[in-house]
Amino acid sequence: MRRIESALQSRLFPEPARNQPGLEHGQRYTCGQASIHFGRAENLYADWPAPTCIISDGPYGVSGYPGDGHTAESLSEWYAPHVEAWSERSTPETTLWFWNTELGWANVHPLLVAHGWMYRCCNVWDKGLGHVAGNANTRTLRKFPVITEVCVHYIKAAHFQGSEGLLTMQEWLRHEWKRTKLPLRLANEACGVRNAATRKYLTADHLWYYPPPDAFVKMAEYANTHGDPNGRPYFGTDGQRPLSGDEWSKLRAKFKCEVGITNVWREPQVGGSERIQGTRNGMKYKFRSLHGSQKPLKFIDMIIQASTERGDVVWEPFGGLCPGAIVSCRLGRKYRAAEPVPEFYEAAAERLQRSASPW
């Protein structure tokens, strides 16, 4: 993959100072299967293993931390090389969690869709009334106080080659069955179901859902045994054989959710011992946090658990204090992050080291 350069990027995120003793671009801190790289993510994607989950918590266009761009409108241009790289390196098993302000997300959404990311759900972080403090003069602000951010869920949907171009999974299943020249109703017999095959797996409407691997295998076996001999194989992608159940199951993003979780996430800003404090001359500031955009470990744990399994790869391209590293280590996921600001990189590496240490 080509190295990504952009004039806009350098303008919004100037190369961080290199005078930090002992810190060199390209250096990384590794602990177990987690690596945090000092540098920009766009220079590293090509070397990272393919992601099962990408947690993007990059610029918001609100001057939230050193180098954050000033307007939400410029975000789409800023994210373009990143989104392009994510799309190139992802598979149909990949989930993207895109954190931003509502307006930042609105500006980047068309770019994500244009690169094949399919919108699933907008999760809203409600930080509660405590977040209003200092932000409540509505006479001056002339708007309701904002206490939210969003974490938007996307997947990299699989596409299939049809006779007249690329098809979605829903279109392809129907296309393959039609090629067999068998009546649609026989798909129910094929799958051993009353009507789920015609009403769900092969429907052209919004009631469609993904046939589980065992149903897919039965449908493919039936089609290849009884379907028009001239069109075989059916339900394959290489013209040689149908997909196996295992291959089929890898053509969509992983997802699991505990009962009771919704798309409204109520949690105050990170505080207490989880909040990483800033330092001056080696002394900790008493109240000042190091990073203005530190995410709660609770949310990062929730999205990693929802979209990955043990051994899977998590990317956190805009690491900050790298909450994904802490969670990935705990959960046995592989992890890659980048962070170009020396203070954040060092704090993230120290945090990971501390969390992995048994004492």
Ligand X SMILES: C[S@@+](CC[C@H](N)C(=O)[O-])C[C@H]1O[C@@H](n2cnc3c(N)ncnc32)[C@H](O)[C@@H]1O
Q: Which residues bind ligand X (CB under 6 A)?
A: 13, 40-42, 57-58, 65, 67, 291, 293-295, 317-318, 320-321, 323, 338-341, 344
Which CB, 167 or 303, lies closer to ligand X? 303
Q: Where are the alpha helices (DSSP H) in 155-309?
A: 169-180, 186-191, 196, 213-226, 245-249, 297-307
- Residue 30: name the closest of 242, 334, 261, 285 by CA: 334
Smallest distance, ligand X to C-beta of residue 65, A: 5
Q: Least distance (Å) from ligand X to the CB of residue 230?
A: 53
Residue nearest to ligand X (CB): 320
Cβ nearer to ligand X, comparing 94 with 293: 293
Which of 207, 212, 215 lies closest to 191, judged by CA?
215
- Minimum CB distance to ligand X smaller for 67 or for 213: 67
Distance CA 198, CA 215 (A): 12
Q: Which two tokens stand for residue 172?
A: 């392809």
CB of 112 to ligand X, least distance (A): 17
Q: Where are any strands of DSSP class E within the chain? A: 28-31, 34-38, 53-56, 95-100, 117-126, 148-156, 159-162, 165-168, 264-266, 277-280, 283-289, 313-316, 334-339
Q: How far is the CB of 325 from ligand X (least distance, A)?
A: 10
In the bound state with ligand X, the residue whose beta carbon lies nearer, of 31 and 157, is 31
The residue (of 51 and 320) whose beta carbon lies closer to ligand X is 320
Q: How far is the CB of 99 from ligand X (least distance, A)?
A: 7
251 bridge partner residues: none
